[in-house]
């Protein structure tokens, strides 16, 4: 096979890699991207998008169940609903198919050459790709590593049989009767909630004293309350010990040391993700590491000149929008523009029920930075819109500097609040003060009015509370 010579080679076509390649192509950089699986990476094929599809299907099914069992106050009734998970998964797969084809089309439109296969460094300027038809050598002036992440496996609960990762959970043929979720973080609670709504008896086993430990307890309280209402058992401060395969159960150890078993037709292990740093020749180029991740600077440069790294392989937060922003920045740097990582905040959204959003500093983080702060909180119980969508549980909270009212952080928990995340991010990125937010007309009736009211509350003169 004839060698390919290019200016930029991107390894991995997830959100980091494909955005980098598209932007580079747009800027006229001669770009090649190598992908061993499907364009779109984890996010589009086995992550963000398929999980949100399943969550949506589960929400719809739960509504139907409530219409059928007479517990819904809207006056809608229905004969007994059923779900054919195979059809749900097929619908999700069609969405994934449309999106991966879309990404391939965008790469083509930007003039990027895609090579299907597994890339491996030979040296700092040369990569060998194992393709279906043999070895393809690619020589590039600049290489971007965007190999992403993979689920962490627990040695005493190896994946296989009833022990599954998020990947298998998103393609199950039937709804398991009992599901044990090990790890009550993002994936465990997003998917655990979805399966509870689909009809599984779900038990969440979390090692820390509470689920979603990365956020403060006030913010996660409505989620914990909802889990309880959905019949999900949350065992915090509890460790999984191993599978009792013969009994279809999981052995656990409670905080007080007692050992128990919980029924588990499937055990979904979601205890974090690890960077993909193996099988692509890291040893050939010996890059500096930051723990398990590849060390990068504020331009995503690694310790070797001409090699950049972006996305999950470079560390937390392992989020698609961070990977995309890094990808776009690196493409511009490679094209000769002056860029550096100057983002003030990376929004985090957890698609639990209700949803959680956090941008910038929490009250505790702001206090720890030694600043005097003021906080404004608006509960959705006071929102007309929240009442009409039965989303009264939750709030918007704004954290600002006490001296000049510059907003440092915004958090929310509530129905559909993921869609408020862009307003929150914009406010922080533009250095908004409380007066900018309260002085902006927020459309009525929307959940977003809670944002303006929280700012007013911090200023000491909320109207609706």
User: Which residues are part of the catalytic machinery?
Assistant: 444
* Binder of ligand FAD out of 37, 154, 230, 375 (CB under 6 A): 37
Work out whether 16 is an interface residue with ligand FAD (CB under 6 A). yes
Q: Which does 188 bind (CB under 5 to 8 A by kind): ligand NAD, ligand FAD, none?
A: ligand NAD
Q: Which run of H or E residues covers position 395?
A: strand 395-401
Find the shortest distance in angstroms from Cβ 371 to ligand NAD.
27
* Binder of ligand NAD out of 95, 106, 150, 207 (CB under 6 A): 207
Find the shortest distance in angstroms from Cβ 332 to ligand NAD.
25
* Binder of ligand NAD out of 7, 125, 239, 295 (CB under 6 A): 239
Work out whether 227 is an interface residue with ligand NAD (CB under 6 A). no
Give me the residues paired with residue 10 across strands. Answer: 33, 144
Cβ closest to ligand FAD, residue 299 vs residue 440: 299
Work out whether 13 is an interface residue with ligand FAD (CB under 6 A). yes
Cβ closest to ligand NAD, residue 121 vs residue 293: 293
Question: Please, which of residues 292-351 interact with ligand FAD by CB under 6 A?
Answer: 311-312, 318-321, 323, 351
Work out whether 14 is an interface residue with ligand FAD (CB under 6 A). yes
Which part of the chain contacts ligand NAD (CB under 6 A), choosing from 5-13, 102-110, 206-214, 431-439? Answer: 206-214
Find the shortest distance in angstroms from Cβ 457 to ligand FAD.
29
Work out whether 137 is an interface residue with ligand NAD (CB under 6 A). no
Work out whether 107 is an interface residue with ligand FAD (CB under 6 A). no
Nearest to 144 by CA among 350, 337, 310, 342: 310
Cα–Cα distances in Å, from 3 out to 6, 21, 243? 10, 20, 49
Question: Please, which of residues 317-336 interact with ligand NAD by CB under 6 A?
Answer: 317-319
d(CA 403, CA 277): 45
Work out whether 144 is an interface residue with ligand NAD (CB under 6 A). no
d(CA 348, CA 360): 9
Alpha helices in 70-207 (DSSP H): 85-109, 166-169, 186-198
DSSP conformation class of 177: S
3-state helix, strand, coil in the chain (%, to 5): 35, 25, 40
Cβ closest to ligand FAD, residue 321 vs residue 457: 321
Cβ closest to ligand FAD, residue 166 vs residue 448: 166
Tokens 């440069």 locate to: 301
Question: Please, which of residues 337-396 interact with ligand NAD by CB under 6 A?
Answer: 349-351
d(CA 238, CA 103): 42
The set of long-range contacts for 322-327, using a CB threshold of 8 Å and a minimum separation of 24, is: 322/346, 323/14, 323/15, 323/16, 323/19, 323/43, 323/146, 323/148, 324/15, 324/16, 324/19, 326/16, 326/20, 326/300, 327/15, 327/16, 327/17, 327/18, 327/19, 327/20, 327/21, 327/23, 327/144, 327/146
* CB burial of residue 159 (10 Å; 0-12, 13-18, 19+): middle
The CA dihedral of 275, 279, 281, 283, to the nearest 10 degrees, is: 70
* Binder of ligand NAD out of 12, 25, 40, 185 (CB under 6 A): 185
Which part of the chain contacts ligand FAD (CB under 6 A), choosing from 35-43, 81-89, 222-230, 425-433? Answer: 35-43
Distance of CA 100 to the CA centre of its chain: 18
Whether 354 and 219 have beta carbons less than 8 Å apart is answered as no
**Which residues sit at the interface with ligand FAD, rule CB under 6 A?**
11-17, 34-37, 41-43, 47-48, 51, 118-119, 146-149, 166, 187, 276, 280, 311-312, 318-321, 323, 351
**Which residues sit at the interface with ligand NAD, rule CB under 6 A?**
154, 182-188, 190, 205-208, 213, 239-240, 270-273, 317-319, 349-351
């Amino acid at each position: 096979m004839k060698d390919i010579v290019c200016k930029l080679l991107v390894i991995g076509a997830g959100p980091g890699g494909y955005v980098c390649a598209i932007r580079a192509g747009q800027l006229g950089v001669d770009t090649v991207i190598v992908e061993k699986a499907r364009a779109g990476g984890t996010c589009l094929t086995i992550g963000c998008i398929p999980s949100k599809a399943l969550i949506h299907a589960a929400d719809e099914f739960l509504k139907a169940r409530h219409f059928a069992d007479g517990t819904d106050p809207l006056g809608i009734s229905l004969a007994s609903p059923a779900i054919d998970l195979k059809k749900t998964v097929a619908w999700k797969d069609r969405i994934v198919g449309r999106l991966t084809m879309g990404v391939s089309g965008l790469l083509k439109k930007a003039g990027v050459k895609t090579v299907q296969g597994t890339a491996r460094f030979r040296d700092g300027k040369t990569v060998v790709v194992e393709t279906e038809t043999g070895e393809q050598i690619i020589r590039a002036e600049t290489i971007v590593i965007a190999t992403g992440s993979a689920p962490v496996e627990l040695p005493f609960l190896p994946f296989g049989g009833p022990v599954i990762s998020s990947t298998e959970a998103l393609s199950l043929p039937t709804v398991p009767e009992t599901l044990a979720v090990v790890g009550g973080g993002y994936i465990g609670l997003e998917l655990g909630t979805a399966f509870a709504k689909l009809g599984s008896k779900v038990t969440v086993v979390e090692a820390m004293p509470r689920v979603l430990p990365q956020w403060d307890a006030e913010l996660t309280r409505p989620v914990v309350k909802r889990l309880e209402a959905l019949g999900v058992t949350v065992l915090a401060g509890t460790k999984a010990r191993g599978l009792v395969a013969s009994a279809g159960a999981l052995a656990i150890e409670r905080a007080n040391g007692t050992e128990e078993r919980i029924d588990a037709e499937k055990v979904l292990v979601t205890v974090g993700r690890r960077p993909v740093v193996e099988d692509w020749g890291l040893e050939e180029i010996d890059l500096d590491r930051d723990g398990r991740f590849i060390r990068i600077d504020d331009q995503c440069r690694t310790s070797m000149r001409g090699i950049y790294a972006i996305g999950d392989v470079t560390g937390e937060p392992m989020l698609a929008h961070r990977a995309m922003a890094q990808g776009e920045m690196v493409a511009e740097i490679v094209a000769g523009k002056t860029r550096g990582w100057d983002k003030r905040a990376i929004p985090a959204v957890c698609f639990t029920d209700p949803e959680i959003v956090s941008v910038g500093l929490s009250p505790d983080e702001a206090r720890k930075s030694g600043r005097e702060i003021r906080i404004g909180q608006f509960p959705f119980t006071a929102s007309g819109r929240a009442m009409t969508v039965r989303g009264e549980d939750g709030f918007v909270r704004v954290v600002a500097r006490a001296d000049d009212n510059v907003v440092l952080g915004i958090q929310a928990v509530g129905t559909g609040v993921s869609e408020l995340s862009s307003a929150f991010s914009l406010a922080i990125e533009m250095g908004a003060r409380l007066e900018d937010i309260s002085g902006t007309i927020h459309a009525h009736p929307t959940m977003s009015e809670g944002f303006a009211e929280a700012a007013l509350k911090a200023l000491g003169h909320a109207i609706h509370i």
